[in-house]
Amino acid sequence: MESAQLGTTPALADPALLEKIDKLFACNVGEHINLPQLVVVGDQSSGKSSVLEGLTKLKFPRNSGLCTRFATQIIFRRAPSLATRKVNGSIISTTHDKGNEAVDWSMSDIELLSEGEFEDMMNEVHEAMGLSTSINDGLPTFSHDVLRLEIHGPQENHLSVIDVPGIFKTTTPGLTTKSDIVLVRDMVLNYMRNPRSIMLAVVPANVDIATQEIIEIARELDPDGQRTLRILTKPDLVDEGTEDKIIELVERKPETQGLGWVVVKNLGQKDLQDKSKIRDIEEDKFRNSPPWSRLSKENYGIEALGLRLQALLASNVRREFPKVRSEVSKRLKECKKALESLGEERESPEQQSRYLLEVVSKFQRITENALRTNYGSQDSFDEYPSLRLATLVANRNAQFSEEISTQGHVYCFKAHDHDDDLENDPKTSVTSTPSSVSSQVGEDDYEEKEAYDELNFLPSRKIEICHDIEDILHDGVQIEYSKAQGILPWIENLYLESRGFKLGTFSSSLLSTVMKKQSAKWPSLAEGYICDIISIVHNFIGAALTISCHDHTLNSNVLSSLMEGLIERYRKSLSMTDFLLKVEREGTPMSQNHYFNSNLQKCRHERIASAVKKSSFSVDMSDGSSRNCYQVSDLARFHHMSNSKQTVEDIHDILKSYYKVARKRFVDNLCMQAADFYLVTGPEAPMNIFSPSWVCCLSNEELEHIAGEELSIRRTRHRLQKETKDLEAGRKILH
């Protein structure tokens, strides 16, 4: 018969494969991928414990449901070298971190596990798992951890089954709650959903089998019944006259009901009190009584169930083993990739410091390449335009120099070689002022006025505002273009308002006054420029941090910790700007540059030449060429002007010469000192704050705040580390 073949064919049990699967369970691989397994499921009153007693020959304690609070994996292994059976026990922890007491419990080489010893062991397991041992002690009733029992002996067959808590619908006061009902149901469903699980659905024969919840669940998860073996218990309690229906159900052909049924007769409550009653003998007696004698050996008894389970497990393992090996390798690769994406571990101060130093190294390398315009060294310079620090600063320097050269003065200086008062630079040829145009614009002509404002005003700020340092930067303003006409009347008015008793000359303080008023737009231009350089540097720091470390939270923490030092450096550049403005606009006009005298002499020469140019005449020379000549009397007439006009002309020429020298000096000083030294390449540059010395000065608390991982990331890392460790152990088992 088939049952005899199952018991006598050694290859059918595949002990090597079964042992590998059990080792995978032992190293917790079953928590991460589906493993082939036999799972015993049923209601609390279905007789599950009695079936397991029959299979294991162990006396399960029947006190307070001690065996129903967690899953139990029972492993049978034949060991011919042993004289008697030995039982080992351990806990596979699925809910506790490494090092918790729950994973430390074990027992080994117990020869006889009596009911009392079994109960003592279960109490130890409950305590190790942190489960309640008395009513209302505040501890959980159920656990996701797994008790692993290994039974070795000379007569054992290779088999392993998992018993899960029985599902229930009614709570036990002081012991279970409604949330426990949901917890147990979810736990059972989790095992049953595993497509590699063979479900052993235990149901009592004395109830309406079709309405049993465990059968309904199994049918939903396994519609074809190809992985559901139904075990019928308590056949001795069925109503008279219904035996034939049960026998007909059990003896149906397998193709109509999947893996079919096995009837098991366990000892009843009275039989358990009678020590003379032997379970297997009583089961055989019951089968020999009609009408149960009609049941075939394959469908009746604990021995038939054991053989059936052995065959099912062996075939299931053989079928699924290649898939398990592939999934372990695939899942291990995914875990390692996920761990790599989290970056280095940052729990201890040493790890946090080391990680920050690596970020600093990358940051400094980006800064060095940015200042050297070595943009081809990293693709990030193409992805983040704000990283091109040297170029952005150089372009803003040139723009500032151009703007202050063409629009930094309130009035355009007189060009002596023209009849009108236009500046030599054609860019300043503005024939009207905003005020004059404004008076001509009607209230409804807003679009024309906006267009005019856009054409005749330039913004002091060119870079988008950095909101996190906005409070220390100057707001952008609209700067009016230089006035093309009126400088001489303007100077004359200032002279008349401030002249004293000196003849033919003017007070030295007047030049300071005129210079300050003529450079009235310098502060707006300079402040806009230096704020833009600060913004360029600050944007660079933010982008460089992003490239150096992809952890957004860490970048934010670093920037927040650096902010006080950065703002201090930014304020220094702003203070230097104010200092240079004060020196140039409020200090004593002074220059040792010979260029000033050269300019002044040139201005005076051009003024005289321009005055007599109209009275010049051409004279033909003997060599055939011609030259422009002037009469000396014309020069005399040119000098016949009032003292006031002469003084105004002198003030103009001196102001023009000095302004040009001062402007160039101011631009160079501002770019070199306030910008370059304090913000870009000097030792006080803000980028230099983020350095190894800064990291080394951080306390452990600061390191934790800046570089410590978020709790969610730590949990994810711990989970992935545990999973990786389990899967690596599993891969060694499988190879």
pLDDT digits (tens, 9 = 90+) for 91-137: 888 764 444 444 578 888 787 677 788 888 888 888 888 888 666 67
Number of helices and strands (H, E) in the chain?
Answer: 27, 13
pLDDT of residue 92: 86
- Look at residue 193 and give its three-state secondary structure: helix
Using CA atoms, how far residue 90 sits from 74, 107, 146, 167, 256, in Å, is: 11, 7, 9, 24, 41
Q: Where are the alpha helices (DSSP H) in 386-521?
A: 389-407, 434-438, 446-456, 487-498, 508-518
Q: What is the pLDDT of residue 102?
A: 42
The pLDDT of residue 495: 82
Q: Cis bond leading into 291, ω under 30°?
A: yes
- pLDDT (average), residues 669-681: 96
pLDDT at 551 over 90: no
Whole-number pLDDT of residue 456: 75
- Averaged confidence pLDDT in the chain: 83
Q: Mean pLDDT, to the nearest integer, of 579-601?
A: 80
Q: Which two tokens stand for residue 318?
A: 């053989």
Let me know: does 82 contact 152? Beta carbons within 8 Å: yes
Instruction: Give residue 109's pLDDT.
Output: 79
- Residues 145-170 have pLDDT tens digits of 889 888 888 888 788 889 998 888 88
pLDDT-based confidence at residue 423 (cuts at 50, 70, 90):
very low
- Mean per-residue pLDDT, 404-420: 76
> Topology of domain 2-338, per CATH?
Rossmann fold (3.40.50)
Residue bearing the bigger pLDDT, 442 or 109: 109
Buried b (16+ CB within 10 A) or exposed e, 279-296: beebbeebbeeeebeebe
Average pLDDT over every residue of 531-558 = 93
Burial (CB count within 10 angstroms: exposed 0-12, middle 13-18, buried 19+), residue 434: middle
441 falls in which pLDDT band (50, 70, 90)? Answer: very low
For residue range 21-36, what is the model confidence (pLDDT) as tens digits? 888 988 889 889 999 9
| Residue 344 exposure: Cα atoms within 13 Å on the Cβ side | 15
> Amino acid identity, residue 504?
G
Count of C-beta atoms within a 10 Å radius of residue 498: 13
pLDDT at residue number 576: 97
**pLDDT score recorded for residue 667:** 96
Percent of the chain with pLDDT over 70: 82
State the Cα–Cα distance between residues 110 and 156, nearest whole angstrom.
16
Determine the average pLDDT of the residues in 592-610: 67
The length of the chain, given as a count of residues = 735
Cβ pair 128, 147 in contact under 8 A? no
Instruction: Enumerate residues 6+ apart whose C-beta is below 8 A from 431.
Output: 484, 485
**Does residue 39 sit in helix, strand or coil?**
strand
Which residue, chain included where needed, has tokens 């939903």?
Answer: 220
**pLDDT category of residue 548 using cuts at 50, 70 and 90:** very high
CATH 3.40.50.300 domain span(s) along the chain? 2-338
- Ramachandran region, residue 343 (left: φ > 0; alpha: ψ -120 to 50; beta: rest): left
Using CA atoms, how far apart are residues 494 and 466, in angstroms rounded to an integer?
42
710-732 per-position pLDDT tens digit? 888 889 999 999 999 999 999 99
Q: Indicate whether 13 pLDDT > 90.
A: no
Q: What pLDDT digit, counting tens, does each position of 263-303 carry?
A: 999 988 777 778 788 888 989 999 888 899 999 989 999 99
- Whether 444 has a pLDDT exceeding 50, the answer reads no
* pLDDT of amino acid 439: 33
Interval 295-316 mean pLDDT: 90
Give residue 403's Cα distance to chain centre.
44
Rounded to an integer, what distance in angstroms lies between the CA atom of residue 455 and that of residue 451?
Answer: 6
Q: What is the DSSP letter of 483?
A: B
- Return the closest-CA partner of residue 462 out of 567, 533, 405, 401: 533
| Highest mean pLDDT (candidates 288-297, 423-432, 455-464, 530-539) | 530-539
pLDDT at 312 exceeding the cut of 80: yes
Average pLDDT over residues 68-78: 85
DSSP strand pairing (228-233 vs 197-204)? parallel
Least confident of 386-395, 592-601, 603-612: 603-612
Q: How far is the C-alpha of 358 from the C-alpha of 554, rounded, in Å?
A: 13
**pLDDT on residue 119:** 82
Does residue 655 carry a pLDDT above 50? yes
